[in-house]
Amino acid sequence: MAEKSIDHAFTALDLTSAATDPTYAGVLSFMRRRYTKVLDGVDTVVWGIPFDAATSNRPGTRFGPQAIRRASAIFDNDPQYPFERDLFTAMPTIDYGDCRLDYGNHWDTPATIEKEATHILSKANFLLTLGGDHFITWPLLKAHVAKHGPLAMVQFDAHQDTWFDDGKRIDHGSFVGRAVREGLIDPNHSIQIGIRTHAPEDCGIRIVYGHQLEEMRAADIAALILEHTAGKPAYLTFDIDCLDPAFAPGTGTPVAGGPSSAKILSVLQNLHPLDIRGADVVEVAPAYDHADITAIAGATVAMYMLGLRAERLAR
């Protein structure tokens, strides 16, 4: 057996090696990936954006990236369920740390996020971002579209996020409408899963409401997503409040009547044909969490996103 080490986030010899840190100890990068700003030889980057100034209800998602990283320590580098593989063997992955934001000047935040995401994507092939509130998806989309062109959006969420926007607001409830108006996402091939609120407009995006999810099998939900996106390059954004508060209490705007984590993870598992060009997990607010329930859900969703990429690379 290879000699064991600790603090793999700093001591890793290469970007594909497995960690041997005890679950309860060691530096808490996402899934023990190496912390580095060096992008040479990197396929996939995990990055945190600790921002919550756009929230409309309970703040605290600035602590989301920390909480998700901490919860990810439970993934101990055995073959990851349900992907039956070490995700990183053929997928050199790093934890790029967090975006440096000026907490006293929020008007600079979108440009800062877009600029750094653009830099990451100039060298890496795939960016998985840990939020932060859902406003961050707008500048992230701008960076991804600059590389890949307009994208289909697959959004897991309790909210449509299509509220009024004058193009200047810092608001986590309006980024979708802005993205449609700016041509970042193709509404004809975009879909929202788990919606349990109403907004003034749907922007032409297909909606699967929470009560509809309750009547559908996970495989059928995934099939609907794949049919609607029609093979288009896609951006996958997951607001943790898509899940019922029983499974994700630690979020700013919880809405009752949502799906279980088990059901939505089964949906994600069935999305392996989806051509995902970028992804994020947002709205984890650990101050309202209990026993890390929400952080574990967020970390698991993020791990599934990496699993889908690892499967795609293995084909």
pLDDT at 1 over 50: no
> pLDDT tens digits, residue range 270-310?
999 999 999 999 999 999 999 999 999 999 999 999 999 99
Asked if residues 182 and 147 have their Cβ atoms less than 8 Å apart, the reply is: no
| DSSP class of 73 | G
Quick one: what percent of the chain has pLDDT higher than 90?
A: 87
Among 93, 91, 85, 121, residue whose Cα is nearest residue 36: 93
Asked if residues 13 and 63 have their Cβ atoms less than 8 Å apart, the reply is: no
Q: In the structure, what pLDDT confidence band is assigned to residue 195 with cuts at 50, 70 and 90?
A: very high
Helix H or strand E segment including 128: strand 126-131
Quick one: what percent of the chain has pLDDT higher than 70?
A: 99
Q: In the structure, what pLDDT confidence band is assigned to residue 2 with cuts at 50, 70 and 90?
A: low
pLDDT at 10 over 50: yes
CA–centroid distance for 168 within its chain: 24
**Residue range 217-223: average pLDDT?**
98
- Name 17's Cβ contacts closer than 8 Å, sequence gap at least 6: 8, 88
What integer best gives the mean pLDDT of the chain?
95
Alpha helices by DSSP H, listed for the chain, are 8-11, 64-71, 109-121, 137-148, 175-181, 210-215, 218-229, 261-269, 293-314
Asked if residues 36 and 94 have their Cβ atoms less than 8 Å apart, the reply is: yes
Asked if residues 231 and 219 have their Cβ atoms less than 8 Å apart, the reply is: no
Is 14 marked as binding a ligand?
no
The sign of the CA dihedral 160, 70, 277, 87 is: negative
Domains defined for the chain, CATH in brackets: 8-314 (3.40.800.10)
What per-residue confidence (pLDDT) applies to 5? 84
What per-residue confidence (pLDDT) applies to 148? 98
Asked if residues 68 and 284 have their Cβ atoms less than 8 Å apart, the reply is: yes
Higher pLDDT, 3 or 41: 41
Is 134 marked as binding a ligand?
yes
Is 241 marked as binding a ligand?
yes
Is 275 marked as binding a ligand?
no
| DSSP class of 84 | T
> pLDDT tens digits, residue range 154-185?
999 999 989 888 878 888 878 999 999 999 99
Please count the residues of the chain.
Answer: 315
Can the peptide bond before residue 132 be classed as cis, meaning omega within 30 degrees of 0?
A: yes
- Name 49's Cβ contacts closer than 8 Å, sequence gap at least 6: 65, 98, 99, 101, 113, 129, 130, 131, 132, 136
What per-residue confidence (pLDDT) applies to 174? 87
CA distance 73 to 24: 8
CA distance 283 to 240: 6
Plot region of 122 (φ>0 → left; ψ -120 to 50 → alpha; else → beta): alpha
Is 159 marked as binding a ligand?
yes
> pLDDT tens digits, residue range 114-130?
999 999 999 999 999 99
**Residue range 211-224: average pLDDT?**
97
pTM of the model: 0.96
Among 206, 173, 171, residue whose Cα is nearest residue 191: 206
CA distance 77 to 88: 9
Phi/psi of residue 108, nearest 5 degrees: -85, -10
CA distance 121 to 191: 24
Is 161 marked as binding a ligand?
yes
